[in-house]
Structure 1
């Protein structure tokens, strides 16, 4: 069965084993453990070069290396990753300057270069926390935002109580740069704690499991800052005490978190960790009440009282405005896609007409974006992986659009985008940008998924001034993009006719599958050593009642798009094996080769179905040769190995079709269970008068034999090519010089009349 024209490089899946902990993390853990042990064993005394110097500096710089490796892994796709790496680097640099000064007995002034590094940590880390939070703001309801604000203020109130001695000492002196720097440390600590508590509360059930690692790291860091400030205030801090370990532990935990986050491909989407939604607001409210009660008994700072009062005020807001907030939240939920947080179809129909009505003469573009072969992801890897993919796709799309653009998920793997105030040229540019962004691999729970997208574009107002008309034309353009495999397509008037024709053809295809309109033709394969016919290749044809015999190039793309390939593959396998059984009963032990598409190969039930078909007909698995394309092998090496090993283990043989036609590495020939290579016909047809092409064919034959593989030459159309291939040791020839694909009855007549001593010049 010839089931492909040129496969798309989309929806490629691989299932590698879970990645082990990075060796850099083991090094970081070892350095940190060594530093902690050294601090415990060193005892009191002056600066220790080993513990305070080498181990201390290593414990600071090891997290820097891990963080920047995470930046390299994510290729700057998530801006928060380099921000965290820069924050950790700043602190490590400041600490290095401080330690080197302490080694020489120097007392640093305030401020110094060390303070620049230390203080640089806080705004960079706060920015890293804020980026994903801001990205989600438009998708969060008022109750969620209030929870985050209450958590932030409550945490700030508690920390303000703890930092009161430091704040008092910092502001009691004359206003100077040193005073500002001294005040900046506790204030930044307050902001840092308030920030990650508030963001955690706002994320609610969307907080990832790894978030706890980041929280522990920042808590350790801030707690060490507070403890250090209190010791420094009383003149009790000395270098080389266990207090120094707090910063190292905090930075190490931040690095561990960043490394784990970067392994999720974008650094943004983490696995869901269920947190009761009222946990943080309840704790924050109780803490604020505690601060106010404490303030009635002892002196606390005005800042602490103010933050506690603000916490209680915001916590009470839902009680005062409960009805209004509940209605607003229900309205938002009704217009929001639950999985991705994007606007849904209802929001699309409500929002876009309003935007277009602002200036009816302003040009805009409407996109319909559909992921190619998303069904294969769900079917083969499960809906959980499919959901994670949709979440990350929505984030990548949102990251490439302007703030004035509108992105919505319509359902399934279909997204709509309005480019407000866009020309056709900008629409095409944005479509190319979005497809490029989606071409980068996704890593979802240890599974690498690479998808493509088809985008249909309709233009406002030229192609319609109503949303319904624009959606309909964008839909037709999207299917046109799929048919052309162009990735994107701007609607044209001719697409309407093409769309109608596509729908008619699709209906006829379904009818043809149900009414047994598909037939199989067979092309013989000649053993060049014995000149005998050892096998045939099965090639599908559609015997259309009106159009006659339709060839695969005219219907296979539509079969793929409609998800009918599994059905068609089953029909061809059954017909081919039925005919093989007949030939074997007639004393003709022919093998049959059947092309299997990539979409069929990811079907985990395929090996069992094939074995059942062979068993029912009493055929040995060795009579069946499955031909697959090297594009599938290259894109899905691990998955291909798992599936091909199962097929090969039951005795079915494997051939690589169109070998050499793609851009590939040959390493898969070493790793995968392959029996035969079919050299693409373009190499054979170009041999005549081309010394380089001839040498390339000869070298490929030698390569196959050196690996223990049989070589089949496709597209043999002349006696000269046939003779040369035989002289070079090629195993099998197939092409018009031998015979074209014919029905089984005609092949029987050809075999019966064929002389075993003289090869015919061709077949009509």
Structure 2
């Protein structure tokens, strides 16, 4: 349901409420007409509220849907009660309406439904359990009953003013409303800002209904209530606002439960205030007063509720401490040990090796071409693959070994206790990748680069940091070789690579032949495993030479204006037998057979040509191309770009070249002159996948660049993770301080886009804004817009 339609319905409800109020205050038509308008109007408002709650249930999911179903049941019950009341008063002519009656049964079910709705409504921060909320409401309600009994109800009960059943119904109205109001306030205090408006409206509606109920009981006790009384306006307003809450819940984002810190906030000790007051009055009053009626039972129940609440609080605090401690050292996606836990265990193992005379080993695993999976199949598929990889790694090692995800697509295994043959474990890890990974109906065959470093027991000089660096160098050697073997660190391996420093790692560049990703989709490759790689390379070369490849464009949106800010060129191969192939299915052939320059030139010229076509139609759309690692170090790249721009007569400022961050970290001295040459032409240069793995912030100042593209893994959790949000915001602010623009990649939802916009991020791209489309389709969209 659109916001405009919701506001229209709310507007109609407000108009109906105003007409109802004016009619009752003006007394149009006399007492009988006012009574009919009052009774039937309240039925209508109750039905309206129930209908809006059903709309909230229809658009909700999970607990939110169940919550609004409960609210709809309560409001429907209230409408039935009001219908019975109207029948007594309008059709049977019974005035006053008997009290209690069947109508009261309908009225009293609303607090029950509203209470269930509030307890079940997902509110993001769930440090307190639903059981605790119910106990808090019962404690406050029971305490208020004791206060009411001592001040008013006990005297009425003694003089026989009302019978036991009538007394119970009379008490049920205010006590039920107090319980629900207490739960509403406690839930509202724990709520995230995303759900605040919905709960604020629901709380306001409950307050109005409660005030009207209490006034109704008071007037009934004094035989002063008649239909059309001013308290009916309270019911009308309460019903309307509860309905508005159901409508508003359809446009507010759903809150995901997260763990928050505990503290001595008022919501933790607030329920004990009325208990203390009630206990004080009980001590002050004489014993006969406190032993009359239902007070002893209520007092005993209160004591039991307080004890149970304390037990629940202690149990939840223990669970929270365990959960927080576990989350601090675990990767949230895979559940493996994170970098912090891995380094801690590594330091401990290295410290103990000399005393216990046992060696320590590290197996470092990096997934080749993981980014291609994200680009081709989506980030959800990439996350699913990381989870499957973690499961394979756990199955390949011993229970005493520590498997961790250091970040991105990099994993580390610590082998210590009795590791007489760490090489066997490393080879079992390599064998774990022999079987394809089944992801969303697609078989992915991905190859890792594995490095092994062993610290002998007799070696007392090597530190844990140096051992980790050795494993990193071995892994780099495996990636450079591209032979699929486990590489064990030796002293003659080149030490020039930056390696690890204080937990921040400079990733190795990928050489030709080092990246292989085989996608077995619908039997395309699996049915022809004998196809020689050379044949595929020849087919691909022919496709490039004959212009049979196509380029699709991923829209980039300006977050300030909402307009198209550019388009990123992504190549596709329409294979005659296997259909449309994504980069993940053929870039290994490109690298292994020296086709990187040919493919880069094809994409460059195609993107420039399409940009010229768009310009001729009146649309100036900047284009972005991605370049391979070896192309970034090729000093002829600026010349080739300049020639293509001049041939098509396109301004250099229209073109942006994306370069992956890890390629910049690997060879900054070789890359810098190429980037400077591109910028001298007027071509913009952007760091791609910034923050995907380990971030090297000095790159932003050291290299000649114009923009930073924030990787999806960095920005994905910012809508619900304060730490990730703070890091992202700091990077955006730093980039702006250095005069760089920022682009967020992989934006999947509106909440993330909203947060990025509030942080000042300049532009964004991802499935939320649009999927890659052909040049003609992008032009059609521009024309329609």
TM-score, normalization: structure 2?
0.45
